[in-house]
Amino acid sequence: MTSGSHETRPTPRHQLMSQAKTLLDTWSRGAEALALLKAVQQAGWLPLLAEPRSLQALQTSTGSSLAHLESVLLVLTAHGVVEWEGDLVGLSPSFEALCADDATVGIADLLDYAQMLPRYIQEAVQMPPGIPMSETDALIQAKVFGGHVTPATQIAFRLLADALPEYAVLEAGGRGLDVGCGVAGALLNMALIFPKSHQVGLELLPSIADEARRRVRALGVETRVEIRCQDVQTLDEERAYDTAFWAQPFFPEAIRAGVLQVILRALRPGGTLLMQELFVPPMDGDMAAMRGFALSQLLFRHRGMVFAPTAEELVQEGLAAGFESVRVAQTPFGRLAILRRPELPEGRLKNTLSAE
């Protein structure tokens, strides 16, 4: 038997299999990194790494062996979570900001949300649509979307208020309504910007309403901010509010028209309704954003939500409910549909949609 020189080439089918395997490996590495970061956060290591320190100091604080610390820190370094300065190791600047007390959304909440999503994605494929999120998971989601009141959010909401003259009524002591207020992130920012205003937030789930009330107390604004654990469809106030914000992405399609009718009745004539265009299709070519958008669409539609309506489509929803169109405004928070309760009989209204 003689040996000859020959080259073994992978078949096209084998190359395709290898490409798919490489992609799966990439996804798996990301999930593993999240699991490690979650474990580090639960073990209380992240606050220890807020300031650079030696391995010996970390060993004393954590009780772990040097070999174990080195193994964990090697992975955290590779993922940009920590950085080394000589013999000292600490959080990288970006993760230090994310773990700080003034972070808009805390890392613990973000990690809880990242841990929760795969389960809901699996359910969205395997389970019938329309199953609501559990209250525990809804609270996790509310914390991530609502965030905390921080100096940075105050600046952002001040820019928003300056861009929207409709909010001037709050400066003079007007009443604002937040429908689906979650943990009251937006509501509390507006309450602090407009210290003469009175704000009411409606939240359906008790645990989320309790968290919102806790944040109200922490900021000392209980006398002018009220959180109600209430289904908006049961709100019976009429002509009681000057402005309303509706967290429309989180309301099922089946009740949207009825919710708008309740808000219309609750606003004073000339009162303003604002709705945010929260999800925007990504630019062509941005594959990471496109994947995230597609997954969000799957999750929201599975729970019976209308996903990613444009501001113009939100205006049309409002018009169908009896509102009068004001405009579509470009703001620091994206595009907002702005409508108002008519001051004139409906038959004499002229809808005037304009885009800024």
> Token pair for residue 354?
């304009």
Alpha-carbon dihedral sign for residues 296, 203, 224, 245? positive
Domain co-membership, 338 together with 266? yes
Domain co-membership, 141 together with 229? yes
Domain co-membership, 28 together with 177? no
For the residues 77-86, what does the mean pLDDT come to? 96
Residue 21 belongs to domain with CATH number? 1.10.10.10
Q: List pLDDT tens digits, range 106-150.
A: 999 999 999 999 999 999 999 998 888 899 999 999 999 999 999
Alpha-carbon dihedral sign for residues 187, 190, 195, 199? negative
Q: Does the residue 210 lie in any domain?
A: yes
pTM, rounded to two decimals: 0.88
Domain co-membership, 175 together with 289? yes
What is the C-alpha to C-alpha distance for residues 42 and 329, in angstroms, rounded to an integer?
42
Residue 281 belongs to domain with CATH number? 3.40.50.150
Do you know the residue count of the chain? 356
The residues with which 201 forms a beta bridge, in sequence order, are 178, 227
The residues with which 307 forms a beta bridge, in sequence order, are none
Residue 191 has pLDDT above 90, yes or no: yes
| Residue with token string 């955290």 | 76
Q: In terms of residue numbers, what domain contains 94?
A: 14-100
pLDDT of residue 350: 42
- DSSP helix/strand/coil, 64: coil
Q: List pLDDT tens digits, range 259-283.
A: 999 999 999 999 999 999 999 999 8
Q: Does the residue 81 lie in any domain?
A: yes
> CA 224, 314, 247: angle at the middle one, nearest 5?
35
Amino acid (1-letter code) at residue 310: T
Domain co-membership, 86 together with 147? no
The residues with which 275 forms a beta bridge, in sequence order, are 246, 337
Residue 7 has pLDDT above 50, yes or no: yes
Domain co-membership, 284 together with 196? yes
What is the pLDDT confidence band of residue 6, given thresholds at 50, 70 and 90? low
Q: Does the residue 225 lie in any domain?
A: yes
Domain co-membership, 177 together with 67? no
The answer to whether 240 and 268 are in contact (CB under 8 A) is yes
What is the C-alpha to C-alpha distance for residues 166 and 325, in angstroms, rounded to an integer?
13
Domain co-membership, 143 together with 269? yes
Burial 310-322 (b: 16+ CB within 10 A, else e): ebeebbbbbbebe
Domain co-membership, 143 together with 271? yes
Nearest to 72 by CA among 103, 41, 104: 41
3-state class percentages of the chain: helix first, strand second, coil last, to nearest 5:
55, 15, 30
What is the C-alpha to C-alpha distance for residues 325 and 323, in angstroms, rounded to an integer?
6
Q: Does the residue 1 lie in any domain?
A: no
Domain co-membership, 179 together with 313? yes
Domain co-membership, 55 together with 178? no
Final residue in a domain of this structure, among 100, 116, 150:
100
Q: Does the residue 72 lie in any domain?
A: yes
**DSSP codes joined into one string, 271-295:** EEEEEE----PPPTT-HHHHHHHHH
Q: Does the residue 336 lie in any domain?
A: yes
The residues with which 226 forms a beta bridge, in sequence order, are 200
Q: List pLDDT tens digits, range 28-74.
A: 999 999 999 999 999 999 999 999 999 999 999 999 999 999 999 99
Domain count, the chain: 2
Domain co-membership, 159 together with 297? yes
Q: Does the residue 197 lie in any domain?
A: yes
CA distances from 338 to 164, 227, 343 (A): 10, 24, 15
